Structure 1
């Protein structure tokens, strides 16, 4: 079951919803047959058990009680926050057990469990969220590499504010009477992603395809490092209306140059470079360790700012 992007429920509806922390990881359905084994499947259906050998002991925790659980595999940074870039080093190793074991010793994952779909012979898909949640919590699944984080009923604005204050990805709102709908992106689950905003300098663009032929498909954004260099921070391909994209195309053509303004030159195939004089504001979720923006979206041009006035310097550790 998947969540639909949206906003917090209204104050009048707040008490009918539960709120869970959203963290950036790999979704996994966990099968516990009751024979001491465990099997994990990704959203694609691919078996990923071998990528996470530290989770194998979970198969013995419930003894002979079979269960199917829903959760998220995370890699945590030194502050205990999910770091998707760390997790990427672990993903895709289901058929490389030796390497998976080495990385597990160095960067163990943590499985957060938030739903139970089948338990001890009882199918729970048509059971309301509140009862499923109670069954899940009764299992007391808290171990060295897995846990069952709490959910808050009501107090949505406070819950969302807490995720922002702690630098977490966001919030998932779940209607208390909702059943579990496998494979459905449901309005009974709403996800709210905490987004940051910063100014960037446009240094290039990539041509659009299909209905965007002749228009920019993405702009290549940069920010000044402490030394004054324009460092590439990623491509931004969403957030424009058709009219805004057409306006931007004219500005980019007028600013065209054969010289890449980024230092170092990014490895972006098919890039068209422009003089770094356009400033825009973008929203993004977080940064990678290399300083790239994750999930960036264009908000607006900033004609009121020159590149010199843009205050969007890179953090010192990536500059």
Structure 2
């Protein structure tokens, strides 16, 4: 392949640009999938590489026809592979059943028939033998949209210039992961986490009950490394995940004392989660956590601790959770 290997440019977590700067930025929906760089060789060849640089082409056979979409024009494109649920929303848990199949093409083909993916394209870094990384984002987007890359398993959604507050509000109203803000004059910085791209993740917060903890290691020896938390559903305390971030050292010390006082040999979760080395506690501590979304099984994704809620009882941490697998 005579195309340059280009690691993807990365966004920095942040907030919306100011109103005075709004017109200088474009806004794209933040996708919940696997970031990929797409190589179209111009002779029908098609290669996908993950953010790590690993080739993952074989994991997504339904995307191979994209190799001929530009005819003899070679290109390097940036995008995200997603698996969509029945409502047409990205479902990362569904995608996980596809991500590990790069070296199992037969299984990948079977999974493609059951859970096909969709590739969203949002940048072009090399086209027709010419590098485009030094061009401003606005010009690269114009080149990308001019390619007309919309097919059965791929698309090029439009970016919105200006109106950042409206764009962010729309992602929240539609339950989407968030927004990526891209400065119109920004060049493409391969492999760099740049302030010219800002990602804003829509987060949710809910109350949970602490039912156990995992001991920390290294400088956290003797302290909780993660809390095991649950929510009430169907008269039981259902495990919804482990929370390992969000505390100061003082808060972690305080929690250690509270957990020691509530120690028990009985797991309060029903069913009992697979958590080797867990220490169980009487489920009396209520806390508030922040998270990005839930899996289909009701587990919290990317949870972080916000605060203890001594004003709440464990019975108030109820949630509408799906039935556990038999």
TM-score by length of 2: 0.95
Q: 2:297 touches 2:321 (CA, 8 Å); kept in 1?
A: no
- Is 2:113 the counterpart of 1:105? yes
In structure 1, which of residues 134, 138, 147 is the aligned counterpart of residue 142 of structure 2? 134
- In the alignment of these two chains, the number of paired residues is 317
**Residue-by-residue CA offset, 1:218-270 (whole Å, 9 max, x unaligned):** 100000112x1101000000111111111111111111111110011101011
Q: CA deviation at 1:214?
A: 1.6
TM-score by length of 1: 0.98
Q: Any stretches of 5+ residues in structure 1 without a counterpart?
A: none
Runs of 4+ in 1 over 3 A off after TM superposition: 316-319
In structure 2, which of residues 288, 305, 318 is the aligned counterpart of residue 298 of structure 1? 305
Measure the CA separation in 2 of the matches of 1:237 and 1:3: 23
Q: Helix, strand or coil: the match of 1:162?
A: helix
Which residue in the other structure is 1:314 paired with? 320
Q: CA deviation at 1:311?
A: 3.9
| Cα 1:316–1:42 shift into 2, 3 Å | closer
In structure 1, which of residues 259, 267, 270 is the aligned counterpart of residue 277 of structure 2? 270
Which residue in the other structure is 1:184 paired with? 192
In structure 1, which of residues 45, 57, 67 is the aligned counterpart of residue 53 of structure 2? 45
Q: CA deviation at 1:10?
A: 1.0
Which residue in the other structure is 2:250 paired with? 243
Q: CA deviation at 1:313?
A: 2.0
Q: Any stretches of 5+ residues in structure 2 without a counterpart?
A: 1-8
Q: Helix, strand or coil: the match of 2:314?
A: coil
Measure the CA separation in 1 of the matches of 2:184 and 2:75: 22
Which residue in the other structure is 2:11 paired with? 3
Measure the CA separation in 2 of the matches of 1:150 and 1:167: 19
Measure the CA separation in 2 of the matches of 1:78 and 1:233: 23
In structure 1, which of residues 201, 206, 230 is the aligned counterpart of residue 209 of structure 2? 201
Q: 1:223 touches 1:314 (CA, 8 Å); kept in 2?
A: no
Q: 1:196 touches 1:285 (CA, 8 Å); kept in 2?
A: yes
In structure 1, which of residues 167, 170, 183 is the aligned counterpart of residue 175 of structure 2? 167
**Residue-by-residue CA offset, 1:167-218 (whole Å, 9 max, x unaligned):** 1100000011111111111111111111111000000001111221221111
Measure the CA separation in 2 of the matches of 1:138 and 1:173: 21
Which residue in the other structure is 2:3 paired with? none
In structure 1, which of residues 151, 157, 172 is the aligned counterpart of residue 165 of structure 2? 157
In structure 2, which of residues 27, 50, 62 is the aligned counterpart of residue 19 of structure 1? 27
